[in-house]
Structure 1
């Protein structure tokens, strides 16, 4: 009679603890560590050839330039958050009509300022009323009566 032993589930591969970095991307520090390890553990009788070393340094330089470009693009994207304020600044001094909350009527007012809060653009009327730019129904030149 053959007896079968049970396999401990903790020995399965998915159950094993991960070692090292849990990140799936390499950055320039990781690249430098790999390069330094490669230089330290090379065979003294058969050292890395100049061409190979220059190629790896060029790859490192390219990686660093791409990372700098990525950071510059992120900064540029962050600076784009004020575009709506500039876009709607032409409404300053104009008369706009907007719905009154909880009422079916509209009200008119002159735009004194444009601001942005929590990703939304607001118009501030001369009387202090705050109006969401998305709720503006009509824009006209200030009537001089």
Structure 2
């Protein structure tokens, strides 16, 4: 028979609330509502003071929304492998090639990256030669060599 850990019983859980030094919009709104409920009806709160408090509340809410949006943007940028490896477009990459029958390394091939896509959460590089390679398969990244200029030099020397 299995036993239940006594520390998991509700009576053994902490019932006191730990005070926080951070005031959120909910706490601010509670304080404002308490002020309005307990004000003296013969001397109500000054209009300017009330407007100032509402403006502060509105600013606080806008800053919290902006912080949440920035956090979401940062999280999305760091997660996306397409954005993470987009700088490789136009770069020349070298990868190992393997013999299809023996599955042994047969050499290396080089091609230029023309696009980056995502498959199963991993970055896939689409190459100029029609191949698609996962980033993990790349052994070298470099600036593209200008093969056309090398060809022009040879023709000019003949």
TM-score by structure 1 length? 0.58
Choose from 29, 34, 37 the match for 2:26.
Answer: 29
Distance 1:85 1:59 in 2: 42
Distance 1:128 1:97 in 2: 12
In 2, are the aligned partners of 1:122 and 1:130 still within 8 Å (CA)? Answer: yes
Choose from 15, 18, 32 the match for 1:17.
Answer: 15
Choose from 128, 132, 138 the match for 2:136.
Answer: 132
Structure 1 stretch displaced more, 73-82 or 28-37: 73-82
Distance 1:98 1:24 in 2: 55
Give the match for residue 8 of structure 2. Answer: none
Task: Report the CA distance shift for 1:129/1:57 in structure 2 as closer, same or farther (over 3 A).
Answer: closer
RMSD between aligned residues = 3.9
Give the match for residue 52 of structure 2. Answer: 55
Shift of 1:118: 7.8
Give the match for residue 114 of structure 1. Answer: 116
Task: Report the CA distance shift for 1:133/1:36 in structure 2 as closer, same or farther (over 3 A).
Answer: farther
Distance 2:73 2:52 in 1: 31
For the pair 1:123 / 2:120, whether they are aligned, the reply is: no
SS at 1:45's partner residue?
coil
Give the match for residue 86 of structure 1. Answer: 86
For the pair 1:76 / 2:80, whether they are aligned, the reply is: no
SS at 1:44's partner residue?
coil
Distance 1:77 1:113 in 2: 23
Shift of 1:112: 5.2
Structure 2 unmatched ranges of 5 or more: 1-12, 99-103, 152-158
Question: What number of residue pairs does the alignment pair up?
Answer: 127
TM-score by structure 2 length? 0.54
